[in-house]
A and B are shown apart, each in its own frame.
Chain A
Amino acid sequence: MIHSLFLVNSSGDIFLEKHWKSVVSRSVCDYFFEAQERASEPENVPPVIPTPHHYLISVLRHRIYFVAVIQSEVPPLFVIEFLHRVVDTFQDYFGVCTEAAIKDNVVVVYELLEEMLDNGFPLATESNILKELIKPPTILRTVVNTITGSTNVGEQLPTGQLSVVPWRRTGVKYTNNEAYFDVVEEIDAIIDKSGSTITAEIQGVIDACVKLSGMPDLTLSFMNPRLLDDVSFHPCVRFKRWEAERILSFIPPDGNFRLLSYHVSSQNLVAIPVYVKHNITFREGSSQGRFELTLGPKQTMGKAVESVLVSSQLPRGVLNVNLNPSQGTYTFDPVTKLLSWDVGKINPQKLPSLKGSMSLQAGASKPDENPTINIQFKIQQMAISGLKVNRLDMYGEKYKPFKGIKYMTKAGKFQVRT
């Protein structure tokens, strides 16, 4: 399936290569570089590129292209999904997935890639299994290793791969047993000029951090499971029980994992927690434009809207802006024309606003479109859909674990057209 993997940085250098079958010359990447040159933005490089003898399937994450070389028919999503899994693993191991981190840990990277694919077919992609095979590097361990000459490779061979619970390593022991669940919902919305909602959806995930000894068997139930319209599970969740009882029953992997992703049924009207008042105008023949933006909370159930960040791609004709924020700071990049305003928390008594003028290129005609405004925000302790976890129970072990559930709402792709 996957023949080779090349890692290409943003300046177009191949800084790592790995082959699972015969070696494929790195000149195959020339086709990729051609496509890269043609694309105006890094994101516009097509994910699948045919070449005379191979096919290149790539993903772009953290400004690194992961380019897989394929020789024959394979579902492209298979490769794409796998490459993203590789990135997730690197991130999990090194904290960040940057060129520097990969270069510093090249041996661990190689050992990981060796375990993740055999002859181009995925072998071990579960993080729990990999961590048993190859221990993630920590500063302490690096120091110890260099002094004592011991290794990152697990002495014991993992047993998880052989079991029917392949996602959980065996022999887990903690002094403090704890299980935390984060319910995070994101609102995707497009708001039109007049402030009415064109489309709005809620997507949610439940991310878990489970540190429990032994083989715990957990069940998680909701007060209002009917809200969940479409779900996808971590493989540990027993599908039959969900279908029958709407209960999540599972033996969790050890550590961090995404238990569930869901989509809230579209019948429910989505509450939009912020509104934007805007007045952005360009006048024909004038080299000045007006820019006014005011944000306000709406349908937040009394919770504060925090970490608000507004960004907007201004038209090419704009040379510079002269704005006055009532709170927070703003930046404008005259090259990319990206305006971003770090608002912080919205105070309902004193609404944040950003007002001022834009200077336009002299003689240039009036831009015919107003910019779109992208908004990011966070609301703590609230799931906007109203989803509530009823209870979490543990079976299979005797100790009493510490349990915690946190709710949060965030903006996903939240756009306001002006």
Chain B
Amino acid sequence: VFSIKSYSALNLYSCSLKNEDLKEMLESNKESLKLEAMKRIVGLIAKGKNASELFPAVVKNVASKNIELKKLVYVYLVRYAEEQQDLALLSISTFQRALKDPNQLIRASALRVLSSIRVPIIVPIMMLAIKEAATDLSPYVRKTAAHAIQKLYSLDPEQKEHLIEVIDKLLKDKSTLVAGSVVMAFEEVCPDRIDLIHKNYRKLCNLLVDVEEWGQVVIITMLTRYARTQFLSPWREDALFDENSEKAFYDSDVEKEKADSKPYMMDPDHRLLLRNTKPLLQSRNTAVVMAVAQLYWHLAPKQEVSIVTKSLVRLLRSHREVQYIVLQNIATMSIQRKGMFEPFLKSFYVRSTDATHIKTLKLEILTNLATEANISTILREFQTYVKSQDKQFAATTIQAIGRCATNISEITDTCLNGLVLLLSNRDETVVAECVVVIKKLLQTQPSQHSDIIKHMAKLLDNITVPMARASILWLIGEYCERVPKIAPDVLRKVAKSFTSEEDIVKLQTLNLAAKLYLTNSKQTKLLTQYILNLGKYDQNYDIRDRTRFLRQLIVPNEKSGALSKYAKRILLASKPAPVLESAFKDRDRFQLGTLSHTLNAKASGYLELSDWPTVAPDQSVRNVEVMEPQSLERQPSTRGSDLFAYHLLVLLCSDSDDAKEKKRPKPKLDSVSSHSKASSSSDNTASSGSESEEDTDSDSEPEQKKKKKLRTALCEFQAAPSIRVSSPVFVPPKSHELLHRMSGKGLAVSYHFPRQPCAYSHRMVSVQLTLTNGRDQPLEDICVGEAGPPGIAIHRFATIERLQPEASITVSMGIDFNDSTQAANFQLCTKTDQFSVSIQPAVGELLMPVTMTEQDFLKEQGQLTGMNESSVTITIAPDSMSSQPVGRKVVSVANMGVVPSSQNSIHRFAAKTVSSGSLVLSSVVLQEASTAKLVVNTEKTVLGSVLLRELKTALSQG
């Protein structure tokens, strides 16, 4: 019933329905009902409603087959596990099982959920899972492991040491998928362990372009910190923060060079970082651009920093919030380096539609950028702003004008006149702000401006803003000797309104009275006393205090001490002019782009940027001894182009066998050497392919070309476009006896299939013979004699002239078995004897592994049906139910390549017969109750059925 109704309709009355219904639905055996229930529960969670009582009913569905249901259960579990710890434990075993799943995505998602369950009791399980996942073959699982590290650390900080070990291991990872996540874990768990970075520094720099954008931000931020501890300052000390005047900059350079005979040489690693981050300025991600900009700001030589300007200005086109952060950072930068942003002055012009905080920041930057050359342009622009309807903004503009006026002395008069004109403005906030700014300006050069002071005195009648009134009173008091006629009159006016004034105005009235009393007591004695009396009984104790103090100071009586003698000097001392500074003056103590910089306060978890070291630290710590050749994913130049590498990568990832390092050596090394050859050739095609696109006919496709080249690189195997011969996944070390020591009269021979392309002919299987002389005298002239049967061709090994006693020698030969398991018979001859021997190949050795996509596999399989398909349902050994054993067993029996599979229960393998190059496909579909369906598709039906039999035997064994 429920399933028919749409979810949103249900949502409406979900509140009225009791959770009981949900419980029932969850316990029903209809999947759709369960799903409906989970959807409603997620709706409750999203609204912030409590759904924790459903925990037991929900947790039962954790192993559901329905992916969406399962995902929703995960959402629920992660949300409530902390509150329902005991019940949450019920789900753990499901995840533990999934951690062993053949499908990497399932392993990853199991780890992701397991590590998100914040239940302290499972810490050891999590630790184990993380350690295992960190060595997983799939980079995606390793990435998830890196994320899990932070989760475990926040759950149990005691695990720190163990986690650092895992971080150390993952930092060595060469996958671009992992890099960002592990650096994030590093920053969170052990940001002080700079030593872990040394060996990985160059790799991180080189990987950077190919890492996903979020990882880039984290890595760049970390590397900025790293570089500040490891490299010498590229900044000349005496030019450190002052290059507003270019001349001084170069002059000091010359001096510096004279003084310091050793010129500064930038560490190549330092240069590497700068070079590799520069392209990221073109990222579409604003956070990446900002990260690079701050890196250049903190690390680059001064003359290089300006390359970030254009990109930062570009970000101003982005959303309001992005503008806000970027403008803040530009404000800090522009204080120290006007030159960087001066050409972009107009980008900071204010639009009437900007938000207030954006306007304020733009104004700040325009003020910082003001120079003698551009001030007239800026002032003209400011005049427009002053008239803005946003009066608060107009007031801020007036402050900005004041700052320009003090900074550039040439324009002080112009500004002052302009501001005086504004005093007649109708808006009070504007006028008040003007008064305050004029007061500050006049303080710098009071001598010439008694007119302005008179003007201001007149304004007092109209202005009501307390700050402005107070400023006028202070101004008149301070310069009362310049306006001797007006000052007493002003005092008279404020005396009248004293009781109704704001506190700040009252204080300045007292101040004015005291000053006038000292300079002009004849006219103001009575007024002052009147005001002092009013102040004495004021409600505010500050005013009462001030009154008492001033009275003692200025009115001489017998009790007054020595101070009153100096009253005039105390009150009328010349005062230094206030300095009008940018609010961003000291922001540069924080690393740019950080939250702390935005807040202008240290945020929790902020990591200080250290000063440059005075002595260069050891550069060799970053040397990496052995460069492993298998850096497949890492090709910054051909970003996104290298599909070939991708396929190999998949092959390696799904290589089910060598989860353990120690099993790797042999097959790995082989595959690696051919990979590096192939990848370098594909590298060429990636770059040359693009060039050749123009000079050849237009249908030619780089992708195919790449493959063509690749094929030539790999012994020219015939292959369909999307099917490529790959290196063996696994080479069984097992060798077979060819000739026993007893029957060979002391000569013992064993053979082994190295699963390598045969050097003599591509139709031949290569076989390695190991001959050992068990006699006490040397054997001479060992060679291959007659061979048969007729269909089988043999490439003989070169005659061994002499084999010393107890010595052994390995030779290789090629045999074309003609795709049959018929034995190859031949004679082994020595100088004296002849022995008939035969090599019977296992069917699996007649194959060459190939790699192809899943789609191609299915397509090919579709064409090889009917007669060409043989299948059998087998009972599989219980331990083979996961992918690792299945894959291992198949590849140990047959030399096949692993085809990536999107389903975890299906394993696919592909190969070609060596002799005729026919395709051989095999798939294992795991079913319930430890059965599996085994299918082999090939044109070579005989070979197919033999292979089927062998695989069956192998898979059913425990």
A interface, CB within 8 angstroms of B: 1, 14-19, 21-23, 26, 40-41, 43-44, 46-48, 50, 55, 58-61, 70-78, 80-82, 84, 103-104, 106-107, 109-111, 114, 118-119, 121-123, 125, 142, 146-147, 149, 151-159, 161-167, 170-171, 188, 190, 192, 198-199, 201, 203, 215, 217, 219, 229-236, 238-241, 243, 249-251, 258, 261, 263, 313, 315-316, 365, 367-369, 371-372, 374, 393, 395-398, 413, 415, 417
List 14 A-B residue pairs with CB atoms under 8 Å apart, sorted by A's residue number.
A48-B595, A70-B595, A73-B594, A74-B595, A81-B286, A106-B46, A121-B147, A162-B138, A171-B855, A201-B347, A230-B313, A240-B639, A249-B690, A369-B387
Report B689 CB to chain A, min CB distance, Å.
8
Q: Mark B372-409, 1 if CB is under 8 A from A, else 0.
A: 00000000010010011100000000000000000000
Report A153 CB to chain B, min CB distance, Å.
4
Which listed residue, A41, A111, A231, A316, touches B355 by the CB 8 Å rule?
A41
Please give me the residue from chain B that is nearest to A397 by CB atom: B701
Q: In the assembled complex, which residues on chain B have CB atoms less than 8 Å from the CB atom of A235?
A: 212-213, 283-284, 639-640
Assuming A166-B212, A233-B283, A238-B639, is B6 touching A73 (CB within 8 A)?
no
Does A109 lie within 8 Å of B641, measured CB to CB? no
Does B355 lie within 8 Å of A15, measured CB to CB? no
Of B65-73, B502-510, B891-899, the one contacting chain A is B65-73
Does A75 lie within 8 Å of B291, measured CB to CB? yes
Does B68 lie within 8 Å of A152, measured CB to CB? yes
Please give me the residue from chain B that is nearest to A233 by CB atom: B282
Q: Mark B346-363, 1 if CB is under 8 A from A, else 0.
A: 110101110111000000
Report B204 CB to chain A, min CB distance, Å.
17
Assuming A23-B79, A239-B639, A395-B702, is B221 touching A81 (CB within 8 A)?
no
Cα-based distance from A50 to B384 in the complex (angstroms) = 34
Q: Is B29 an interface residue (CB 8 A)?
A: no
Assuming A107-B43, A413-B353, is B290 touching A163 (CB within 8 A)?
no
Cα-based distance from A396 to B67 in the complex (angstroms) = 34
Report B620 CB to chain A, min CB distance, Å.
31
Assuming A50-B601, A84-B319, A415-B351, is B6 touching A146 (CB within 8 A)?
yes
Cα-based distance from A235 to B45 in the complex (angstroms) = 35
Q: Is B324 an interface residue (CB 8 A)?
A: yes
Q: Mark B2-18, 1 if CB is under 8 A from A, else 0.
A: 01111110010000000
Cα-based distance from A165 to B209 in the complex (angstroms) = 13
Which listed residue, A15, A157, A163, A236, touches B103 by the CB 8 Å rule?
A157
Q: In the assembled complex, which residues on chain B have CB atoms less than 8 Å from the CB atom of A72?
A: 603-606
Does B154 lie within 8 Å of A151, measured CB to CB? no
B interface, CB within 8 angstroms of A: 3-8, 11, 30-32, 35, 39, 42-43, 45-48, 66-69, 71-72, 74-75, 79, 82, 103-106, 112, 115-116, 118, 138-140, 144, 147, 150-151, 154, 176-177, 181, 184, 209-210, 212-214, 217, 221, 279, 282-287, 289-291, 310-311, 313-314, 317, 319-322, 324-326, 346-347, 349, 351-353, 355-357, 381, 384, 387-389, 425-427, 593-596, 598-599, 601, 603-607, 633, 637-643, 645-646, 649-650, 653, 690, 693, 698-703, 853, 855, 900, 902-903
Q: In the assembled complex, which residues on chain B have CB atoms less than 8 Å from the CB atom of A239?
A: 209, 279, 282, 639
4 closest A-B pairs (Cβ-Cβ)? A72-B605, A149-B32, A151-B68, A153-B68
Cα-based distance from A58 to B357 in the complex (angstroms) = 14
Report A108 CB to chain B, min CB distance, Å.
10
Q: In the assembled complex, which residues on chain B have CB atoms less than 8 Å from the CB atom of A125?
A: 213-214
Does A217 lie within 8 Å of B703, measured CB to CB? yes
Does B3 lie within 8 Å of A107, measured CB to CB? no
Report A368 CB to chain B, min CB distance, Å.
6
Q: In the assembled complex, which residues on chain A have CB atoms less than 8 Å from the CB atom of B6?
A: 142, 146
Does B48 lie within 8 Å of A240, measured CB to CB? no
Q: In the assembled complex, which residues on chain B have CB atoms less than 8 Å from the CB atom of A397?
A: 701
Which listed residue, A23, A73, A315, touches B606 by the CB 8 Å rule?
A73
Does A315 lie within 8 Å of B389, measured CB to CB? yes
Report B648 CB to chain A, min CB distance, Å.
11
Please give me the residue from chain A that is nearest to B6 by CB atom: A146
Please give me the residue from chain A that is nearest to B645 by CB atom: A164
Q: In the assembled complex, which residues on chain A have CB atoms less than 8 Å from the CB atom of B650?
A: 162
Q: In the assembled complex, which residues on chain A have CB atoms less than 8 Å from the CB atom of B151?
A: 119
Cα-based distance from A50 to B690 in the complex (angstroms) = 51
Main SS class of interface, A: mixed
Assuming A48-B598, A125-B214, A238-B638, is B606 touching A219 (CB within 8 A)?
no
Does A78 lie within 8 Å of B703, measured CB to CB? no
Does B426 lie within 8 Å of A368, measured CB to CB? yes
Q: In the assembled complex, which residues on chain A have CB atoms less than 8 Å from the CB atom of B217?
A: 75, 78
Q: In the assembled complex, which residues on chain A have CB atoms less than 8 Å from the CB atom of B115?
A: 119
Which listed residue, B47, B425, B605, touches A16 by the CB 8 Å rule?
B47
Does B67 lie within 8 Å of A77, measured CB to CB? no
Assuming A76-B595, A121-B181, is B606 touching A190 (CB within 8 A)?
no
Does B310 lie within 8 Å of A229, measured CB to CB? yes
Does B287 lie within 8 Å of A75, measured CB to CB? yes
Q: In the assembled complex, which residues on chain A have CB atoms less than 8 Å from the CB atom of B698?
A: 393
Report B185 CB to chain A, min CB distance, Å.
9
Cα-based distance from A415 to B351 in the complex (angstroms) = 8
Report B566 CB to chain A, min CB distance, Å.
47
Which listed residue, A17, A110, A165, touches B643 by the CB 8 Å rule?
A165
Q: In the assembled complex, which residues on chain B have CB atoms less than 8 Å from the CB atom of A111?
A: 68, 71-72, 75
Does B7 lie within 8 Å of A231, measured CB to CB? no
Assuming A110-B46, A114-B71, A125-B214, is B640 touching A236 (CB within 8 A)?
yes
Q: In the assembled complex, which residues on chain B have CB atoms less than 8 Å from the CB atom of A261?
A: 284, 314, 317
Cα-based distance from A233 to B279 in the complex (angstroms) = 10
Please give me the residue from chain B that is nearest to A70 by CB atom: B595
Please give me the residue from chain B that is nearest to A21 by CB atom: B154
Report B632 CB to chain A, min CB distance, Å.
9
Please give me the residue from chain A that is nearest to B902 by CB atom: A156
Which listed residue, B105, B289, B702, touches A396 by the CB 8 Å rule?
B702
Assuming A77-B593, A164-B633, is B67 touching A151 (CB within 8 A)?
yes
Q: Pick from B214, B283, B311, B594 the residue with the most CB of A within 10 Å.
A: B214
Cα-based distance from A55 to B603 in the complex (angstroms) = 9
Q: In the assembled complex, which residues on chain B have CB atoms less than 8 Å from the CB atom of A316?
A: 389
Q: In the assembled complex, which residues on chain B have CB atoms less than 8 Å from the CB atom of A50?
A: 599, 601, 603
Does A163 lie within 8 Å of B646, measured CB to CB? yes
Please give me the residue from chain A that is nearest to B636 by CB atom: A240
Cα-based distance from A254 to B835 in the complex (angstroms) = 66
Q: In the assembled complex, which residues on chain B have CB atoms less than 8 Å from the CB atom of A417?
A: 384
Report A373 CB to chain B, min CB distance, Å.
10
Does B703 lie within 8 Å of A396, measured CB to CB? yes
Q: In the assembled complex, which residues on chain B have CB atoms less than 8 Å from the CB atom of A153?
A: 67-68, 71
Cα-based distance from A239 to B103 in the complex (angstroms) = 34
Does B3 lie within 8 Å of A149, measured CB to CB? yes
Cα-based distance from A217 to B45 in the complex (angstroms) = 44
Report B626 CB to chain A, min CB distance, Å.
25
Which listed residue, B283, B356, B642, B645, touches A232 by the CB 8 Å rule?
B283
Does B595 lie within 8 Å of A73, measured CB to CB? yes
Q: In the assembled complex, which residues on chain A have CB atoms less than 8 Å from the CB atom of B599?
A: 48, 50, 55
Assuming A121-B181, A153-B67, is B322 touching A81 (CB within 8 A)?
yes
Does A369 lie within 8 Å of B68, measured CB to CB? no
Q: In the assembled complex, which residues on chain B have CB atoms less than 8 Å from the CB atom of A201?
A: 347
Q: A76-B593, A230-B311, A251-B640 are in contact. List 20 more A-B contacts (CB 8 A).
A: A17-B46, A23-B82, A60-B321, A61-B319, A74-B595, A78-B214, A81-B286, A81-B287, A121-B147, A147-B4, A151-B35, A164-B649, A170-B853, A170-B855, A232-B289, A235-B212, A239-B639, A241-B690, A315-B389, A372-B351
Assuming A75-B593, A149-B35, is B902 touching A104 (CB within 8 A)?
no
Report B212 CB to chain A, min CB distance, Å.
7
Q: In the assembled complex, which residues on chain B have CB atoms less than 8 Å from the CB atom of A151?
A: 35, 66-69
Does B640 lie within 8 Å of A109, measured CB to CB? no
Q: In the assembled complex, which residues on chain B have CB atoms less than 8 Å from the CB atom of A43?
A: 320, 355
Does A76 lie within 8 Å of B325, measured CB to CB? yes
Does B282 lie within 8 Å of A232, measured CB to CB? yes
